C-alpha cells in the first residue's frame, strides 16, 4: 500500500488515517471510523478529473479512488434520505423559524451582536447549541440579504442547518461555536466605517457565508497530519490547502443540495461559489506572509480603491483572516477559553501521533509546549503583525483600538503565566537545572567572546536574584529564570517578524 515502507509502519499509517474520535472520547478504527471528511459535495467534477489524472500518473493509490467512489454513492443515498424525511429542525408550516430563539436573553444578546464583548459561549447555551443558525438568520435579516437576493427562508434555514450539523461538536476548538464566533467577528469588521460604506449586498453575503462555513467538517487535525497519514483528501487536493479546499467544496455541495441559490442565474451562482472559495482558501495559515505583505504594500502605497470589486474582495479576505485568529483580541475571559480549547485540540493530535509512532507535530506535544508559550508565539508571529496593519487600515477605529488593547493585555497575562509556570517547574525539579552539558566546562576565549556578542545582538538582559538569573529578551519578551553556579542554555524565539516558525538559537551563560 505504501511503497518502500515496512509493513508494520504501513499498518500504523493506515490505522492513523482511519482514526476518528467519538463524542464520548473513545477511538475506533477501520472503515466505519474513517474521518468524516468525506462528505456531501466535496468532490465536484473538477476535483474528480484531477483525481483521475493523478491516478493515471500513478500519484494516487487505487484504494483512495475506491473511497471516493464509495463516498459519492453514500452521498447520493444521504441526499435521497434527507429529501424523504426532511431536514428542517422546525416545522415548515411556520416561517417564524426563530421565534423561540428570539425570546428572553437570546433576543437581548442579538440586539448587541455588533459589539466586541459578545459572549458566544453564553449565546450558544441560550440557543440550545444552535448559535450558528440563529446568528446567521438574524444577520441575514437585519442586513436585508433575504429580501435583496429573494432567498427562500426554508431553503436558507436548511442550508444553515446543514452547515452547523457538519461541524463536529467533539472537536474542542474547530466546532460550530468557533464558526459562530468568527461570523460575529466578521460582522463587526464589515461594520467598520471605512469598509461598510463601500460594501455591496453581495460582499456582505459572501463575507458572512464564508465566515460561517470556513472550517466546516474540520476533522480536528491539521494538514500535515493528513499528509503524513496519506489521507485521501491530501491526495485529492495534492497536499495544497487540503482542509481549506475541503471546507470550500463541502460548502458548495451544501449550497447546491439545499437549493439556496437555485433561483439565481447559473453564471451568478457559479461566480458566488468561486468567490466563496477564494475567501475560504485565504484562511490557510501557510499563506499568512503572502496576504500580509500585499496588505502592507497597499497601505504603504495608499492605493486601496474600495470602489473596485477586486480590492473589496481582497479586504474581505483580510477581514476573514482577522476574524479567524481574533481570539487573542477578545476580553481575557473569552480569549483564555479559546486558547485552552485550541491547545487541547493540538494535544489530542499529538496523542494520536504518539500512539501510532508518528513524528509529533509542532505545538502538539503537551509535555514540551505549554498553553502560555503557544499563545505568546501565536500572538507575536501571527496576530500582532496582522492586526497592526488592520489598525492602520481603519485609521484607527474605536474597535481596532479596543482589540489592540485586549491583545496587549492578554499577551502580558500569558507572559506572567509562563513566568509563574517556569518558576514552579524549576522549583519542582531543581535537579534538572544542575545537569552539565557534554564536553565539560572549559571554553576558549574566542567562544566566550562569541557568546557575549550573541547576547548583545539578541538584547538579552540578565538580572541577578538571590540564587537565580532572571533573563528577559527585549526582542520577543522571552522570560526564564536559571540557577547560578552552572553552565546552562536558553532557547529563544527568532526575532524575525511575520514568521510562523521559531528558530532555536542557543545562548550560554556563566556565573
pLDDT of 491 over the 60 cut? no
C-alpha dist (Å) from residue 323 to 317, 326, 334, 403, 506: 10, 5, 14, 11, 35
Predicted pLDDT of residue 429: 59
Q: Is 429 annotated as a binding residue?
A: no
Kindly state the average pLDDT of the residues 321-344. 99
Which cell numbers hold the place of 9?
A: 509502519
- Residues 485-497 have a mean pLDDT of 35
- Predicted confidence band of residue 102 (pLDDT cuts 50, 70, 90): low
Of these ranges, 205-209, 431-435, 486-490, the one predicted with the greatest mean pLDDT is: 205-209
Q: How far apart are the first and last CA of the chain?
A: 57
Total number of residues shown for the chain: 511
Percent of the chain with pLDDT over 90: 61
Q: For the ranges 134-148, 159-173, 176-190, 434-448, which has the lowest average pLDDT? A: 434-448
CA 289 – CA 430 distance, rounded (Å)? 41
CB 190, CB 196: distance < 8 Å: yes
Predicted pLDDT at 443: 47
DSSP tag of 243? H
pLDDT category at 15 given cuts 50, 70, 90 is low
**Confidence (pLDDT) at 358:** 96
CA separation for the pair 3, 33 (Å, rounded)? 24
The annotation status of 203 as a binding-site residue, yes or no, is no
pLDDT at 40 over 70: no
CATH of 35-98+106-260+268-323, one of 3.90.230.10, 3.30.930.10, 3.40.50.1950, 1.10.1300.10: 1.10.1300.10
**Is the pLDDT score of 39 beyond 80?**
no
77 pLDDT exceeds 80?
Answer: no
Torsion over CA of 348, 220, 128 and 338, rounded to 10 degrees?
70
Helix (H) or strand (E) holding 21: strand 20-21
Is the dihedral angle over the CA atoms 323, 329, 332, 338 positive or is it negative? positive
Where along the chain do its domains lie? 35-98+106-260+268-323, 325-425, 443-509
For the cut 80, the answer to whether the pLDDT of residue 408 exceeds it is yes
In 3D space, the residue among 421, 379, 440 whose CA is nearest the CA of residue 388 turns out to be 379
**Gyration radius of the chain's alpha carbons:** 25
Greater model confidence, 125 or 422: 125
Q: Check the annotation: does 222 bind a ligand.
A: no
Whole-number pLDDT of residue 445: 53
Asked whether the predicted pLDDT for residue 148 surpasses 50, the reply is yes
Q: Are 503 and 494 in contact (CB under 8 A)?
A: yes
Q: Is 215 annotated as a binding residue?
A: yes
| Comparison of pLDDT for 336 and 12, the residue scoring more | 336
Residues 255 and 206: their CA atoms lie apart, in Å, by 12
With both helix axes pointing from N to C terminus, report the angle between 201-213 and 266-281 in degrees, rounded to the nearest 10.
50
pLDDT in tens, 244-289: 999 999 999 999 999 999 999 999 999 999 999 999 999 999 999 9
Q: What pLDDT does 104 receive?
A: 78
User: 432 among the known binding-site residues?
Assistant: no
CB atoms within 10 A of CB 287: 15
**Dihedral sign from CA coordinates of 430, 432, 433, 438:** positive
pLDDT at 16: 56
245 CB-near residues (< 8 Å, 6+ apart)? 237, 281
Rounded mean pLDDT of the chain?
77
Q: Looking at the annotation, which residues are catalytic?
A: 174
Rounded mean pLDDT, 45-65: 50
Q: Contact at 8 Å (CB) between 328 and 410?
A: yes
pLDDT (mean) for 399-421? 96
**Residue 421: pLDDT band with limits 50, 70, 90:** confident
Q: Which residue from 312, 110, 277, 98 is spatially nearest to 201, judged by alpha carbons?
A: 312
pLDDT of residue 422: 78
Rounded Cα–Cα distance for residues 434 and 325 (Å):
40
pLDDT at 355: 95
- Are 244 and 284 contacting, i.e. CB atoms less than 8 angstroms apart? yes
Strands of the 468-473 sheet, one edge to the other: 460-464, 468-473, 479-483
Indicate the range of 249-253, 376-380, 429-433 predicted with least confidence.
429-433
Give the mean pLDDT of 478-506: 35
Q: 213 near 245, Cβ under 8 Å?
A: no
Query: What are the tens digits of pLDDT across the range 308-318?
Result: 999 999 999 99
Q: What is the mean pLDDT of residues 364-393?
A: 98
Residue 505 above 70 pLDDT?
no
Mean pLDDT check: name the lowest of 41-45, 98-102, 492-496: 492-496
Q: What percent of the chain has pLDDT over 70?
A: 62
Say if residue 305 carries a ligand binding annotation: no
Give 385-400 as a DSSP string.
Answer: HHHHHHHHHHSS-HHH
* Nearest-angstrom CA–CA distance, 391 and 455: 33
Range of 145-154, 441-450, 499-508 with top mean pLDDT: 145-154
The verdict on whether residue 175 carries a ligand-binding annotation is yes
Provide mean pLDDT across the span 317-329.
Answer: 99
pLDDT surpasses 50 at 100: yes
Check if the beta carbon of residue 470 is closer than 8 Å to that of residue 455.
no
Q: How confident is the model at residue 120 (pLDDT cuts 50, 70, 90)?
A: very high
The pair phi, psi for residue 297, each rounded to 5°, is -65, -40
Q: Give the rounded distance of the alpha carbon of 110 from its chain centre.
A: 25
DSSP state letters, 417-486: HHHHHHHHHHHH-GGGGGPPPTT-S---HHHHHHHHHHHHHHTEEEEE-SSEEEEEETTT--EEEEESSS
Taking residues 444-466, what's their average pLDDT?
41
Amino acid at each position: 500500500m505504501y511503497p518502500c515502507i515496512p509493513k508494520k509502519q504501513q499498518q500504523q499509517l493506515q490505522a492513523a488515517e482511519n482514526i476518528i474520535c467519538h463524542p464520548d472520547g473513545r477511538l475506533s478504527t477501520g472503515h466505519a471510523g474513517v474521518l468524516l471528511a468525506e462528505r456531501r459535495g466535496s468532490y465536484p467534477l473538477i476535483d474528480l478529473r484531477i483525481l483521475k489524472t493523478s491516478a493515471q500518473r500513478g500519484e494516487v493509490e487505487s484504494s483512495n479512488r475506491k473511497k471516493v467512489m464509495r463516498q459519492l454513492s453514500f452521498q447520493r443515498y444521504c441526499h435521497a434520505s434527507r429529501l424523504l424525511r426532511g431536514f428542517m429542525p422546525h416545522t415548515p408550516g411556520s416561517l417564524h423559524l426563530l421565534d423561540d430563539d428570539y425570546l428572553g436573553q437570546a433576543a437581548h444578546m442579538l440586539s448587541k451582536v455588533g459589539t466586541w464583548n459578545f459572549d458566544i459561549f453564553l449565546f450558544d447555551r441560550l440557543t440550545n447549541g444552535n448559535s450558528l443558525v440563529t446568528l446567521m438568520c438574524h444577520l441575514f435579516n437585519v442586513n436585508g440579504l433575504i429580501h435583496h437576493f429573494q432567498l427562500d427562508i426554508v431553503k436558507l434555514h436548511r442550508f444553515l442547518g446543514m452547515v452547523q450539523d457538519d461541524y463536529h461538536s467533539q472537536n474542542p476548538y474547530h466546532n460550530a461555536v468557533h464558526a459562530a464566533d468568527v461570523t460575529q467577528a466578521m460582522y463587526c469588521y464589515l461594520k467598520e466605517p471605512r469598509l461598510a460604506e463601500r460594501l455591496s449586498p453581495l460582499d456582505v453575503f459572501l463575507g458572512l457565508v464564508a465566515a460561517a462555513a470556513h472550517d466546516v467538517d474540520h476533522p480536528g487535525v491539521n494538514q500535515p497530519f493528513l499528509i503524513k497519514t496519506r489521507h485521501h483528501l491530501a491526495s485529492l487536493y495534492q497536499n495544497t490547502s487540503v482542509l481549506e479546499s475541503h471546507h470550500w467544496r463541502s460548502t458548495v455541495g451544501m449550497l447546491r443540495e439545499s437549493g439556496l441559490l437555485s433561483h439565481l442565474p447559473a453564471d451568478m451562482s457559479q461566480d458566488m461559489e468561486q468567490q466563496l472559495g477564494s475567501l475560504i482558501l485565504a484562511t490557510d495559515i501557510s499563506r499568512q506572509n503572502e496576504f500580509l505583505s500585499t496588505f502592507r504594500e497597499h497601505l504603504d502605497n495608499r492605493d486601496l480603491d474600495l470602489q473596485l470589486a477586486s480590492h473589496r474582495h481582497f479586504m474581505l479576505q483580510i477581514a476573514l483572516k482577522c476574524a479567524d485568529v481574533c481570539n487573542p483580541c477578545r476580553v481575557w475571559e473569552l480569549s483564555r477559553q479559546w486558547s485552552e480549547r485550541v491547545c487541547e485540540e493540538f494535544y489530542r493530535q499529538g496523542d494520536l501521533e504518539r500512539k501510532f509512532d508518528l513524528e509529533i507535530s509542532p505545538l502538539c506535544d503537551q509535555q514540551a509546549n505549554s498553553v502560555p508559550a503557544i499563545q505568546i508565539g501565536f500572538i507575536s508571529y501571527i496576530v500582532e503583525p496582522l492586526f497592526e496593519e488592520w489598525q492602520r487600515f481603519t485609521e484607527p477605529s474605536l474597535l481596532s483600538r479596543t482589540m489592540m488593547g485586549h491583545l496587549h493585555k492578554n499577551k502580558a497575562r500569558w507572559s506572567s503565566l509562563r513566568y509563574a509556570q517556569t518558576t514552579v517547574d524549576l522549583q519542582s525539579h531543581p535537579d534538572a537545572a544542575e545537569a552539565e552539558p557534554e564536553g565539560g566546562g572549559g571554553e576558549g576565549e574566542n567562544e566566550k567572546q562569541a557568546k557575549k556578542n550573541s547576547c548583545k545582538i539578541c538584547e538579552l538582559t540578565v538580572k541577578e536574584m538571590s540564587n537565580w538569573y532572571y533573563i528577559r529578551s527585549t526582542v520577543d519578551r522571552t522570560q526564564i529564570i536559571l540557577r547560578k553556579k552552572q553552565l546552562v542554555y536558553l532557547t529563544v524565539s527568532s526575532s524575525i517578524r511575520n514568521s510562523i516558525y521559531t528558530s532555536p538559537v542557543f545562548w550560554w551563560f556563566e556565573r
